[in-house]
Every structure is written in C-alpha cells, then in structure tokens.
C-alpha cells in the first residue's frame, strides 16, 4: 500500500486534507503595481550568490498588491470562497542568472494558509499579513472609476504594524502593467536541515512562469510610496529614490509547475 495521500502535508487517507490541492492552480484577480528605483545596492543585498543585478535599470523595484480568486483544477473552492479568495502584497526585483534576466520575488505577505503553502512550494517567501487595496467601482460614490483622475490606495501590515502605503492616481490607459514583474521568476526554495548545524536539506534555484495568461485593459498613473520599518522586517531598506510608474489591471493565469535550475 502506498500510504496516505496529498500534494503537500498533511497527508491523509483520501488526500483531501493537504493544505493545498495539487496544481493546476488558476488565478483571476485585480493587480495594482507601483514601480520605483532604489539604490541598486539595496537590490544586490537581496540576491543569493551566483545571482547578479539586471544590466538595465538594476535598482528597479515593483511593489505589487493583488486581490485574487483562485482554485485548483476542479474549481470546487470557488463555491466555498473562504478557500478561494486571498490578498497578497509582494516585492519584485530583477536579476541575472546563467546569462538570463529574471524577475524575483524578495518579500511577500498573504492572508490565507493555502496561499502561504503555495508560496513555500514555489519559492515565494510568504509570510502572513493584512493586505487591502481600493477597488474601482462602476456604480455609486464609494470608489474611483477606471478613468483619468481615479485614485487607488493600497496598504500592508504584519504583526499589527503598518509596513507600506501607496496611492496611485490614474492618468490613462497603458500598453503594459509594468516591466519588473514581467519576466520568468527566479526563486530560491529552502528548508534548513532538521539538525540546524548541518547544511540545508533543500536549497534550490527554480524558475516558473504563468500559463494561459489573460489580461484585462491596463491603466497607468503616478504613484506615491511610503515604507515603514518593523522589528522583524527589512522591506523598508528598499528605499525609493525615484518613481517609475503605477499600474492597475485584471489578470488571469494558471500555474502548472516550474523547473529546477540549480
């Protein structure tokens, strides 16, 4: 007999108890991106050995909020939306490895455990946080329209401390949703040895990219960013020195797996 089943832990007789079902994982949601430049040394300080700064615009940072609905292949979670919806805030930089340029998520916070587990599988270094983003509306006075002059806010907190606030004032439609998070991801997967004096049990570089990407119309605008320090965080070291732009769009995508690079 093959024992209990499950894509991740906990394994159980029917395989239903796993913290997350197996891929494919489908995503549909709203994505707000604020891109800015920091001192490239701040980016370099986040890259592992053998990974270098991007050649062009090496100090570019994307601070991204997303409000997702997600599901596995069966779609069953969609009718029990507590298991389907989550929000996240993440920080992406670019880097080079083996002659290729990649996007790389260096910090990320989510508000559900299934999303956290997917991240640990994919090399997104997820922690829990409280994430909020203004929704554009089409009726009523309680929200901006997707139109020039519309203003969207987004906030991140963890451990009862505010970590980031942004606001984005839309100026018009856009061809793109930003360039920092537009490349295949280069992520580290890492698990220390159960005896902490030994070398890590899992220490990999992996790459992945979304499948079946479906994009709604993109909007761009001007953004302001404030980062706040906290005892168990270092995101505020990525101090903005020059704004690039902000973006908002709806995104659909599917994740089916990645590949190990090193």
* Of residues 210-239, those binding a copy of itself (CB under 8 A): 212, 214-216, 231-235, 237
Q: What Cα–Cα distance (Å) separates residue 237 from each residue in 64, 95, 245?
A: 17, 18, 20
Do residues 64 and 71 make contact, with C-beta atoms less than 8 angstroms apart?
no
Minimum distance from CB of 98 to a copy of itself (Å)?
16
Q: Is 162 in the site for a copy of itself (CB under 8 A)?
A: yes
Q: Which of residues 7 and 37 has its CB atom nearest to a copy of itself in the complex?
A: 7
**Interface positions, 40-79, toward a copy of itself (CB under 8 A):** 45-49, 68-71, 75-76, 78-79
Q: Is 243 in the site for a copy of itself (CB under 8 A)?
A: no
**Interface positions, 133-152, toward a copy of itself (CB under 8 A):** 133-135, 137-144, 151-152
Q: Is 112 in the site for a copy of itself (CB under 8 A)?
A: yes
Distance CA 84, CA 216 (A): 21
Q: Is 199 in the site for a copy of itself (CB under 8 A)?
A: no
Q: Is 181 in the site for a copy of itself (CB under 8 A)?
A: no
Pair of tokens at residue 202? 């899992």
Q: Is 7 in the site for a copy of itself (CB under 8 A)?
A: yes
Stretch that binds a copy of itself, among 56-64, 92-100, 162-170, 175-183 (CB under 8 A): 162-170
Do residues 168 and 178 make contact, with C-beta atoms less than 8 angstroms apart?
no
Region for 15 from its dihedrals, namely left if φ exceeds 0, alpha if ψ lies in -120 to 50, beta otherwise: left
């Amino acid at each position: 007999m093959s024992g209990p089943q499950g894509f991740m832990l906990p394994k159980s007789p029917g395989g239903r108890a796993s913290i997350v079902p197996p891929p494919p994982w489908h995503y549909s949601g709203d994505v707000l991106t604020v891109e800015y430049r920091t001192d490239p040394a701040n980016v370099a300080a986040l890259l592992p050995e053998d990974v270098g700064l991007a050649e062009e615009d090496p100090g570019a940072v994307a601070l991204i909020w997303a409000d997702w609905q997600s599901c596995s292949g069966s779609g069953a979670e969609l009718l029990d939306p507590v298991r389907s919806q989550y929000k996240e805030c993440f920080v992406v930089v670019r880097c080079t490895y083996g002659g290729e340029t990649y996007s790389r998520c260096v910090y990320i916070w989510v508000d559900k455990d299934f999303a956290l587990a997917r991240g640990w599988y994919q090399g997104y270094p997820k922690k829990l946080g409280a994430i909020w983003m203004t929704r554009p509306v089409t009726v009523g006075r309680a929200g901006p329209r997707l139109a020039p002059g519309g203003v969207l806010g987004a906030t991140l907190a963890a451990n009862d401390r505010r970590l980031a606030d942004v606001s984005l004032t839309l100026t018009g439609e856009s061809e793109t949703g930003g360039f920092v998070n537009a490349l295949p991801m280069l992520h580290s997967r890492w698990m220390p040895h159960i005896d902490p004096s030994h070398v890590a049990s899992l220490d990999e570089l992996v790459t992945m990219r979304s499948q079946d990407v479906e994009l709604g119309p993109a909007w761009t605008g001007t953004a302001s960013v404030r980062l706040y320090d906290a005892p168990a965080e270092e995101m505020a070291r990525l101090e903005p020195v020059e704004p690039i732009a902000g973006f908002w769009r709806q995104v659909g995508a599917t994740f089916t797996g990645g590949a190990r690079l090193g």
